[in-house]
Amino acid sequence: MSLTRLSKFISLILRHQPQVIGITLDEHGWADVGELLEGIRKTRYIDMEMLEEIVRSDEKQRYSFSENKALIRANQGHSVPVDVELPQTEPPDFLFHGTSERSVSSISQEGLLPMGRLYVHLSADRETARKVGSRHGKPVVFQINSRLMAREEHVFFRSVNGVWLTRQVPPKYLSLYQDQSACPAER
């Protein structure tokens, strides 16, 4: 099994379904590394060296080890209720969210909702948002007026891998760009 496929399996376990391999996450999303490895070994091969490589090389930096590498957790993206201990952070003036064309109508009407996750995920730059959106079809990028949201008491967090998180983004803070080649904020 490739490390990429193994990483996706670990993501499923640490974000959504720890019970798949018979482990539990603590209230902060941490799993015991020994238990994780033992649980994964029930269906596929993995060792500590492979796990360290997955954590080190994951391009999205999905995972973190505790200082002594006895614990591991996903940095964000959970659907199970955990508190990954992120400090409330003042956002930049604008953040971005990538999606597909088919989602534009509902987002324009309802805003951005966590959709089974604990938070809405936002990017600090348009290009990252475009890449995220392209995973779902033809990408569309929304710009979020995060400065105004923060002024109006919406709370933001920034994950250790740079993903911005908030509970929801009401429609009044969203702008959709028809010209996806250059968002006005980046011209």
pLDDT tens per residue, range 26-83: 999 999 999 999 999 999 999 999 999 999 998 889 999 999 999 999 998 899 989 8
Distance CA 132, CA 154 (A): 23
Coil, strand or helix at 27: coil
Count CB-CB contacts under 10 A for residue 99: 23
Total-model pTM: 0.75
**Is the predicted pLDDT of residue 160 greater than 50, yes or no?**
yes
Q: Distances from the Cα of 8 to the Cαs of 16, 39, 60, in angstroms?
A: 11, 15, 12
